[in-house]
Amino acid sequence: MSDDLDIRGGGAVAVDTATLRVAAAGFTGLAAELDDIAGFVGSAAHRLLDASPAAFGAWLTIDAVRRRIVSATEAANETAEALRGSAAVYEIVELRAERAAAAAAGDAAALARIDAQLAVITREDPAADDRATLGVFGHWLSWPNGLALQAPGAVWWLAPGLHSLAIPLAWAVQRAIGAVGAGTVPSSARLSGAPNAVVVTPVAGHGPTAAPASLADAAARIPGGGDARIRVERYTMPDGTRQFAVYVAGTQTVAPNSTEPFDMESNIALYTGERSASYDATLAALTRAGAEPGDVVHAFGHSQGAMITAHLALEGGYDTQTLVSLGSPVEADVGEGTMSISLRHADDPVAALAAGGHAGAVGAPGSFVAERTADPVPGVHDYGLPAHGIDAYTETARLLDASTDARMGAVRELFDGLGAAESVEVTEYSAERAGILQPAPAPAPAPAPAPSPSPSPSREPLTLNPASSDGG
């Protein structure tokens, strides 16, 4: 199992422009200080030589130090320039994405503002525009590679003669998904369709009743395998306010016409922008747990659950401050008030449905994407989707917890804050589609009526009205 994590800001060019520009300014200041020091050292060396020609050897030594300082000054200036160039490239990518959204909305004022910003950046760094184009193209070209490179090993077991076509076919299929715009959810997206009738019921809880202490701890709380589908934790904070954490399961069945909301019907609905029974069940669970519009919510979801929590952040009506997605088939362009943490596996076919995500980063500053190859050895076992399982993603979360990457600091602060809660109430909920009747068992043969000299009393037939059933 590979533990090589690629942690990036997300999108085609994964950098934090604010941090880069601050770092560039720091290197520029350092270069100025070094330049002053080099001048001082050079002047001192010349004065020493003027005072005593016999000090020529010392002058050589001092001048060598001066030349090393000059070299360090040049390196600092080059680093500052590279950092500013990277920031310019990323800002162009972001502004292009904003411009596309403004053009689609017909917002002429926004278009004029964005064009003016682009003009300033390209005037300061004329090469940045071309580098941004190359960066987006490289992202477009390379994101399907992880799954495509493993395709021959999986296909070999089914069709040995066709394995040579596996790489281009897998790459092309993934690119086709991206070409139609599937997998990326814009900030303005809203699920269509009427709410679904669902019933959520508290069930016996499992796992810890304290706040999670780490990302892996949170991932391990996502329900699956039992009756629970949604877990809600309600925190009472020291200042009397309340916050909630919601953990949402992935797909539970592929069987059609079942009462299970977390099925393929909900998968397809969510991926195509339709409201699903599983989404409505999650809203119902939060309501039953006491969450009200505007309350702070931290959302954790796996697979279908990650699609649900993405739309919860976009349109659920809560202050969703954290969105942790594990193996999500989509990436939502959540706003700057939501820290977005996306865990993906390069060899996960379900995560590949996100088509590489947005070209620019999404979420609050400090949001990131963490990706690795979870099951690097291809084979027939890949048909069981081992790279998509919650256990594989929990392991990725453990690797992140152990990482020294600076972006994990905000994640640790989140869990430290939740750990300070004065009380934690935990409820897990099962979910069921309402109004769907299971087929009734075939009736047993009626016994022959006993002979009677008088006629039997008349009985009205019993009629079940499916519209009146609550499905519970």
Residue 178 lies in a domain: no
Rank 79-83, 371-375, 392-396 by mean pLDDT and report only the highest: 392-396
Higher-pLDDT residue of 375, 303? 303
Q: Over pLDDT 70: what percentage of the chain?
A: 77
pLDDT higher than threshold 60 for residue 70 = yes
Query: What digits encode the pLDDT tens for the residues 133-146?
Result: 776 666 655 555 55
Per-residue pLDDT band for 381 (boundaries 50, 70, 90) equals low
Decide if 253 contacts 263 (C-beta within 8 A): yes
N-to-C CA span, the chain: 43
User: Is the whole-model pTM more than 0.85?
Assistant: no
* Closest by Cα among 314, 313, 255, 316 to 281: 316
Residue 238 lies in a domain: yes
In sequence order, the 6+-apart residues with CB closer than 8 A to the CB of 392 are 345, 374, 375, 386
pLDDT of residue 23: 85
Same domain, 211 and 95: no
Query: What digits encode the pLDDT tens for the residues 147-156?
Result: 555 555 555 5
Same domain, 121 and 208: no
In sequence order, the 6+-apart residues with CB closer than 8 A to the CB of 393 are 219, 302, 326, 327, 343, 345, 374
CA distance 324 to 329: 13
Residue 340 lies in a domain: yes
Decide if 201 contacts 430 (C-beta within 8 A): yes
Per-residue pLDDT band for 2 (boundaries 50, 70, 90) equals very low
DSSP string, 432-460: EETT-PPPPPPPPPPPPPPP-SSPPPP-P
Residue 332 lies in a domain: yes
pLDDT of residue 445: 52
CA distance 119 to 113: 10
* Closest by Cα among 287, 331, 337, 336 to 309: 331
In sequence order, the 6+-apart residues with CB closer than 8 A to the CB of 42 are 63, 66
Query: What digits encode the pLDDT tens for the residues 432-461?
Result: 999 654 444 545 555 555 444 433 333 333
User: In a 3-state reduction of DSSP, which class is residue 153?
Assistant: helix
Q: Over pLDDT 90: what percentage of the chain?
A: 44
Same domain, 193 and 108: no
Same domain, 109 and 205: no
pLDDT of residue 439: 47
Decide if 357 contacts 328 (C-beta within 8 A): no
Q: How many domains does the chain have?
A: 2
The Cβ-side half-sphere exposure at 120, using a 13 Å CA radius, reads 7
pLDDT of residue 140: 56
Query: What digits encode the pLDDT tens for the residues 362-371?
Result: 899 889 999 9
Residue 310 lies in a domain: yes
Same domain, 190 and 118: no
Same domain, 375 and 246: yes
Rank 24-38, 218-232, 355-369 by mean pLDDT and report only the highest: 218-232
Q: Which residues pair with 300 in a beta bridge?
A: 247, 324
Same domain, 112 and 26: yes
CA distance 175 to 173: 5
Per-residue pLDDT band for 103 (boundaries 50, 70, 90) equals confident
DSSP string, 230-289: EEEEEEE-TTS-EEEEEEE----B--SS-S-SSBHHHHHHHHTTB--HHHHHHHHHHHHT
Provide the residue range defining the domain that includes 426: 185-433
Which helix H or strand E contains 207, and what residues bound it? Answer: none
pLDDT higher than threshold 80 for residue 321 = yes
